[in-house]
Structure formats: C-alpha cells, structure tokens
Amino acid sequence: MLLPRLRPRTLVLTVFSNDFADLEIYRTAEEIAAASELSLDVDALAARLAHPAARRGPLAQLHRVKLWRLAALVLDRIAGKHIAAPPAAGAPPAFIAALADDARWTPIARYYERVIADLAERSRAAGTELVLLNLDLGDRPDAGPRAPRDRLRALLESIGREHALRALDTRGLFESCAECFLPRDGHLSPEGHRRLAG
C-alpha cells in the first residue's frame, strides 16, 4: 500500500449509493467473492509502471487508464442520456435495486466488509485514521427511496463500529439543497463542495 509512503493523517473512503450496482457492472460474481484487491502487490505494480519500457509508444499508457469505458459514456451522452438523470415518474433509479434485492446485496455487502476490514488494518499499521463517508444525496429525486439507502448507511455504521472507525453520512447536509448538485447530474456543484468541506 502507498499509506506508509504518503503517511496521511486521515484517509476518507467515500461510498455512493450507486457503488453496489457499479461493482456488478465492472466485476464478475467470482471477482466480488474473491476481493482480489486484498492480494494486490502495490510495490510490484508501481515498479512495473515506473519501468521505462512501460512508458514507450502512444498506446503504452492504455493499461493505466481504462479509456475504453469512456466509449459507452460518450455514446450515452450523444444519445441524450445522462448518468444520474432523474428516473421516470414514480420509478426508483436502476442502481437502487442492488441495495434493495437481498440476492444482489449480500455478496457485495460481504465484499465491502472484507475490503474495509483490510483497509482499516493497513491504515492503523501506517498510523492513519480511516473514515467512512456515505455520500448520500439527500432528498433528490435521483437519490432513490430511503429504505435501501438506509440499509447502506447501516452497513457502513456496522463496519465502523466493528473496526472502531468513524462513519459519517451526508444526507442531512444535502436535504433541500437542489443547488448542491449540477443540473441533471448527481455530482456536487461548487455549493455542494462548499457544504461538504464546511
């Protein structure tokens, strides 16, 4: 890990409601069950990336940045779709299903428990405080129903208690604050960043 080299006082792990669904999109069930990040050799990876042979040629950097994922995003934008567009009237956003459906929730919740437990141990060993931040969008229509989001908050609070970590939540911070987010997008506006920093 880079923690011993960087020596930060605090490391904030930010979790979004759509992260569960993203794991299902970008990982196989086997990868989620194995939590391969736990066996990642950061030193070997850093050495490989630092080696001059890894930096030759215009395509040599593609292994570092997954640019091909941007193609789908660009096509969606051209088609007029927006990543965090409000759902159809009365329908929850698609990512909420991963929080609400037990069959989908359970393996990903276990993944979070294992990865955060490992990160907590590594952080402590490096003298760094690990803080869990649930970036909840408050009462925005594209945030989804409260019950599944409450489930995510409860999971992070439980992991926090188990590993003596602070678990913070932004729901109250962003209630009734439409100006905290970019239009037709779930990302923070300058006002949202100001509130979060305050």
pLDDT of residue 158: 98
Task: Return the structure tokens found at 110.
Answer: 């276990």
Give residues with Cβ within 8 angstroms of 175, minimum separation 6.
138, 139
Distance CA 89, CA 122 (A): 45
H/E run at residue 128? none
- Domain containing 23: what range? 3-197
The number of domains in the chain is: 1
pLDDT of residue 45: 64
pLDDT of residue 143: 74
- Inter-residue contact 113 to 147 (CB < 8 Å): no
Distance CA 196, CA 180 (A): 9
pLDDT of residue 93: 81
pLDDT of residue 55: 54
pLDDT of residue 145: 86
DSSP-derived 3-state class of residue 21: helix
**Low-confidence residues of the chain: pLDDT under 70:** 1-3, 42, 45-46, 48-73, 76-77, 80-90
pLDDT of residue 26: 87
Backbone CA torsion sign across 192, 86, 71, 78:
negative
Give residues with Cβ within 8 angstroms of 185, minimum separation 6.
82, 83, 84
pLDDT of residue 189: 92
DSSP-derived 3-state class of residue 80: coil
Alpha-helical regions (H) of the chain: 3-6, 19-26, 29-34, 42-50, 68-78, 97-100, 102-125, 146-162, 171-174, 190-197
pLDDT of residue 120: 96
